[in-house]
Amino acid sequence: MSSTDVPNSSDTDVLHPLEPAEERKVSVKRTIDETPAKEERPAVTFPEGGLKAWLVALGCALTLFSTFGYVNAFGVFQQYYEAHQLHDRSPSTIAWIGSLQTFFMFSGTLFGGPLFDQYGAKCLLPAGLVYVFSLMMTSICKTYYQFLLAQGILGGCSAGLTMAPGLAATGQYFHRRRGAAMGLVVAGSSIGGVIFPIATSRMFANPRLGFGWSIRICGFVILAALLAASSIIHARLPPRRGRFFILAAFKEKAFVSLVASVFLIMLGLFTPFFYLPSYAIQHGMSTQLAFYLISILNGASFFGRVIPGIMADKLGRLNMLMAAGLVSGILIFCLQKMRTNSTIIVFSALYGFGSGAIVSLVSVCLAQIPKNPGDIGTYMGQGTAVVAIGILIGPPSNGALLSRYQGFDRPLIMSGVFVVVGALMVIIAKITSKRGMGIHRRL
């Protein structure tokens, strides 16, 4: 046998003549199976800034200015309806209008989020036009059921479909700085929450405008903002094809525990947004000054949505969410003893900061859960849809307690308990999160 007949070592590594055929097949199959697995999921990168990314963030802020910011002004509507069109209805009954509007705004993201993931920002403008239409219909409403349909249901659903791209698009451009970016985006709702209560209360008091034209003017302002937003919001990632919902998210412990904790927080969080003007008037504050309380609250929430968001990128997003929840719950308990103009105004500012942080950080925490950034809209939509049930139940339940006991002590105690318990449950979300959700492992 010549030396040329003897296989060299490199040949035997590839195919040994005495190696059994089945073992060779298994070896080859294992090699084929393992090779693509390493190339299957390339590392996802994020721009973390740049002109296009910040323009998208600006457009998203405009959508929240027009939707969440306007809805934040319902405390003014609650007081106005009690004194005018719906004076024959109880506070609890009137609160259903705002509660339904807020519920459908959040639950509307259940469809708006997946639509954005699958079709991009092109779904924003049609939803925005329907939202403006709901405002125009609200301006001509006279009876309770008309307000319920136009402002509560149609306005809430279209606001949710409009808001969803604003919450999801920013998450595709930022990861490491997502807390700061989302804080700036959600701060758009704070600006709207400052402008709309002041504008509507002043216009309602103007006999030359009245209720109808006051709402129409708001509608035209919102139309301009949404047209600008739709021109600069763009999805960065390719559309996700296939299933519309991702029900497997409800099998993830981190997702379920986070949604459960935020659900409890939302049961009590919106009580001051609905009833603070009525509470202040009952304790001797003038009607005009009471209308400004919502603007003060939303003005302070601007800083609450920006500063904690920046801090969350360094100290931990769940840590900041829990801290903001505890502070807000304690403030609700303290409101029972705040009965002078000065103490109620201070409460408005402090509570605006704490509640603003919660609204901002909830979006950031939900956006951290999906492994694929292209699923952010769907995860956020499904999560906020569940949370919206708490917003639907909370204010009317407090209104029922207010009507029965003719006082605010019991509604405030119930709201404070829900917020504090929900904040403490964030600890469970932190423990069950194996990936840490982008936070430091410290409480």
Predicted pLDDT of residue 112: 82
- At 139 the three-state DSSP class reads coil
Q: How far apart are CA 325 and CA 319, in angstroms?
A: 10
| d(C-alpha 189, C-alpha 195), whole Å | 10
- The pLDDT score that the predictor gives to residue 43 is 54
What residues of the chain score a pLDDT lower than 50? 1-42, 435-443
CA nearest neighbour of 84 among 208, 199, 184, 212 = 212
Lookup: tokens for 336: 């029972």
365-381: b (≥16 Cβ within 10 Å) or e: bbbbbbeebbbbbbbbb
Residue 29: the pLDDT is: 41
E strand or H helix at 191, and its extent?
helix 178-204
Nearest to 167 by CA among 178, 177, 156, 157: 178
User: How far, in Å, CA of 372 to CA of 232, rounded?
Assistant: 24
Determine if the pTM surpasses 0.75.
no
DSSP state of 436: G
What does the pLDDT read at residue 379?
Answer: 83
- Distance between CA atoms of residues 122 and 235, nearest Å: 9
pLDDT of residue 44: 60
Cβ neighbourhood burial of 25 (10 Å; 0-12, 13-18, 19+) = exposed
Calpha distance 80→147 (Å, rounded): 13
Task: Give the CA radius of gyration of the chain.
Answer: 26
CA distance 311 to 116: 29
Domains of the chain (ranges plus CATH)?
51-438 (1.20.1250.20)
For helices 317-334 and 409-432, angle between their N-to-C axes, nearest 10 degrees: 170
Which pLDDT does position 46 carry in this prediction?
Answer: 67
The length of the chain, given as a count of residues:
443
Cα separation, 357 vs 183, in Å, equals 8
Q: What is the DSSP string of 75-143?
A: HHHHHHHHHTTTTTS-HHHHHHHHHHHHHHHHHTHHHHHHHHHHHGGGGHHHHHHHHHHHHHHHTT--S
**CA–CA dist 154, 77 (Å, integer):** 17
Pairwise CA distance, residues 380 & 376, whole Å: 6
User: For 330-358, how does the pLDDT look when each residue is reduced to its tens digit (9 = 90+)?
Assistant: 999 999 989 899 999 999 999 999 998 99
What's at 312, amino acid-wise? A
**pLDDT digits over 147-158, tens only?**
999 999 999 999
